[in-house]
Amino acid sequence: MKDTGSVLLGFLAGVGVGAAVALLFAPQSGEDTREWIGDTVEDEAYRLRRKAKRSLDQVQDAFEKGEQTVSKVLKTGKTALDTLAAKLE
């Protein structure tokens, strides 16, 4: 999750450099080059969205597991306190 900013920055830099190089050295017409750039950006944006969704799903799963663990600990603690209270009566 920490590397998301780096990945995004790298992606944007790669798109920019790729587009500049493509425009300078492309043997295609301007229209074909623009279409290729658009398709490439769409493909990369789709991949980035998929990766972000997977990362979000992982964070949500970790949060849910943490929530379950805290719930179990609280329940165990309550049981221990109830047992201790019963012994002290």
76 against 8, higher pLDDT = 76
- The residue-averaged pLDDT of 25-48 equals 84
pLDDT at 66 over 90: yes
Is residue 2 pLDDT above 70, yes or no? no
pLDDT of residue 57: 92
pLDDT in tens, 44-54: 999 999 999 99
Please list, in sequence order, all residues whose beta carbon lies within 8 angstroms of the beta carbon of residue 7, skipping any fewer than 6 positions away. 48, 51
User: pTM score, two decimals?
Assistant: 0.50
Output the six-digit token pair for 53: 């969704």
Q: What pLDDT is recorded for position 1?
A: 52
Identity of the amino acid at 52: A
